[in-house]
Amino acid sequence: MTTTHPARSTPVTTIHTSTAPFSGPVRPGRSTLTPLDSSEIRLTGGYWAEKQRLNADVVLRHCEDWMERIGWTGNFDRAASHQAGWVHAGIEFVDSEVYKLLEGMAWELGRSHDADLSSRYDQLVYRVASAQDDDGYLHTSFGRPWQPARYSNLEWGHELYSFGHLLQAAVAAERTGIESALVDVARRLADHLWVEFGPDGRVAVCGHPEIEVALVEFGRALDEPRYVELARLFVERRGRGLLAPIEYGQEYFQDDVPVREAEVLRGHAVRALYLAAGALDVAVETGDDELADAVRRQWEATVARRTYVTGGMGSHHQDEAYGADFELPPDRAYSETCAGIASNMLSWRLLLQDGDPRYADLIERTLFNNVMASPREDGRAFFYTNTLHQRTDGVAPDEDELNARALSSLRAPWFEVSCCPTNVARTLASVESTFATKTPAGLQVHQYGEFDVDTTLSDGTPIALSVRSDYPYDGAVRITWRDDTRREVDLDLRIPSWAGSARIEAPGQTPSVRDGRSTTVRGRFAAGDVVTVDLPMQARWSLPDPRIDAVRGQVAVQRGPLVLALESTDLPDGDVNDVVVDTSVEPVTTERGATVEVSRLAAATADWPYGEPGDATGPLGAVTLVPYATWANRGPSTMRVWLPVARVEG
């Protein structure tokens, strides 16, 4: 067979429109809160703008370069060539990383209209599109004579999981106004799935959920009810033992209990969370309140009993899974970055439905302390797992080598299973989409930082305001109206649960905090009016529920939304393992972290680690705690979030 390798210079028409409003990643058919269009909210500075710029300038390119170098993008060229017997690079589901990169590029492109990025994006889309089969199927690991047959390994092959990420990338293209060939590629693929797995197709599910949440959103974006119906079928089929038994049990892929009957999230954390997000989407689009209530119930139970103080989820390394209730060992925390991202996908969907600030609270906690712990400060290496206690100095991985999934004790540039870096990329590219929403009555601010909102309410009332703060380091938030609202509107402000209280000032009123969670400032605002929120940023102790045995007798320190950590880098010598903290002296808040008084334990019982506990000796005085998410940016260290409390004399 002759090679039909596509010429790389083949043009793909990409038209960037900048005038029409376009949506973000999630656009429910009905919801209590309406998400803002991607053109209606813009980061202007501070923490998040800096991270988003790092993503645009470094992370996207980093992912692109790695996947080019190790042949993952080249898989699409080889597939398009139709040459027999070509060797696939990487594990079965590396296509999905290219799709997540495309999604991140699309969100960035919708904002920046950068010519170089546009050209790179178009080339990549063209290469993907060239690999699509005539019937719409598109996968580089399955279906050729020398490869496993299509859908022959639904337990581990992740075919539909990969397709889901392609659909989400197409949603980003559609919603940002990029006229991308990817939308048509995704439509042909989704139509293929309808034939293959729809009402007249095979009764099966993918081992790794993701297709559900993607099909619903693609159906919303294209106004195609068949895609929502297919997602519904996948959700309903789950939990009925359709997947072959594996050593971890059926709960590993949530095939043990039907979604609407489950009480808590369990099994592989990323799978469980993607499935729950998709199930809620299905429930919303089909008016299935029982299913929606099941997802709410699972979120409640999981947050109450299976979540780390960082918002991280998953405490088993072997199967990347949730542990039992309160089984949250800090030194064995898996807390995969993707699970944090998936948790926020779920919380965001619940927030849109219910408007409950608790969902925004968890998004804040998880973003600052789990998701943002992943990228190194230079954007060129990532944590896959996010331990809360590093017992031995981390070993820096080779910057030029592929790293095993979770073995790195420090951030690694790329992994054999590299789901987390591309997930960080697409998350950062659209992170502001969860910061504010609107209702006919007004605007809701869920997250603080530096951003501008320019939107109109359903009756045309203009809402134009600027949010300014040095959040998450400073709790003073200043909101300035830039236009007259012409009528009375509500400005709802989340008061983070960690804050306890807040001081709010607004023109002509003193708003109070409702349920300790939010406040409403109501008024007809004029250009120049200012509303301020002051959140207390004093460092504070955080005590674990005694049922979390692994950290009983220990405390963590939080400062505003940030969980802090002790790193050996900040000790005069030695590691963090025998350090105890004196809780009779309050932590002292610093510019970015805190200091606490610590001592080292006596080593008198060194020959046997049981019996009478040793007294604290060797006071080290005040030591610095840093934001957990920044740990290991200064090189190898030992680190701990939970600090054992020193025994009190007498």
Looking at this protein, which amino acid is placed at residue 195? V
Give the DSSP letter of residue 57: I
Minimum distance, C-beta of residue 374 to Zn ion, in the bound complex (Å): 9
Q: How far apart are CA 437 and CA 445, in angstroms?
A: 7
Minimum distance, C-beta of residue 337 to Zn ion, in the bound complex (Å): 5
Minimum distance, C-beta of residue 536 to Zn ion, in the bound complex (Å): 34
Pair 310, 369: CB distance under 8 Å: yes
CA Rg value for the chain:
25
Pair 524, 485: CB distance under 8 Å: yes
Residues of the shown chain interacting with Zn ion in the complex, contacts defined by CB under 5 A: 336, 338, 419-420
Give residue for tokens 């007294």: 615
Taking the least distance from each CB to Zn ion, the nearer of 96 and 461 is 96
Minimum distance, C-beta of residue 379 to Zn ion, in the bound complex (Å): 17
Pair 83, 404: CB distance under 8 Å: no
Taking the least distance from each CB to Zn ion, the nearer of 26 and 339 is 339
For 268, the token pair is 């592989």
Taking the least distance from each CB to Zn ion, the nearer of 262 and 273 is 273
Taking the least distance from each CB to Zn ion, the nearer of 426 and 600 is 426
Q: How far apart are CA 556 and CA 539, in angstroms?
A: 10
Give residue for tokens 């959920």: 209
Give residue for tokens 């957990």: 628
Taking the least distance from each CB to Zn ion, the nearer of 341 and 616 is 341
Minimum distance, C-beta of residue 419 to Zn ion, in the bound complex (Å): 3
Buried/exposed code over 78-109 (b: 16+ C-beta within 10 A; e: otherwise): bbbbeeeebebbbebbbbbbbbbbbbbbbbbb
Taking the least distance from each CB to Zn ion, the nearer of 139 and 271 is 271
Longest dimension (CA), the chain: 86
Residue nearest to Zn ion (CB): 338
E strand segments, 292-425: 389-390
Minimum distance, C-beta of residue 523 to Zn ion, in the bound complex (Å): 45
Which of 387, 376, 386, 377 shows the shortest CA–CA distance to 414?
Answer: 376
Minimum distance, C-beta of residue 424 to Zn ion, in the bound complex (Å): 9
- DSSP β-ladder status, 562-567 and 616-627: antiparallel
Taking the least distance from each CB to Zn ion, the nearer of 269 and 445 is 269
Taking the least distance from each CB to Zn ion, the nearer of 426 and 438 is 426
Pair 569, 593: CB distance under 8 Å: no
Minimum distance, C-beta of residue 318 to Zn ion, in the bound complex (Å): 16
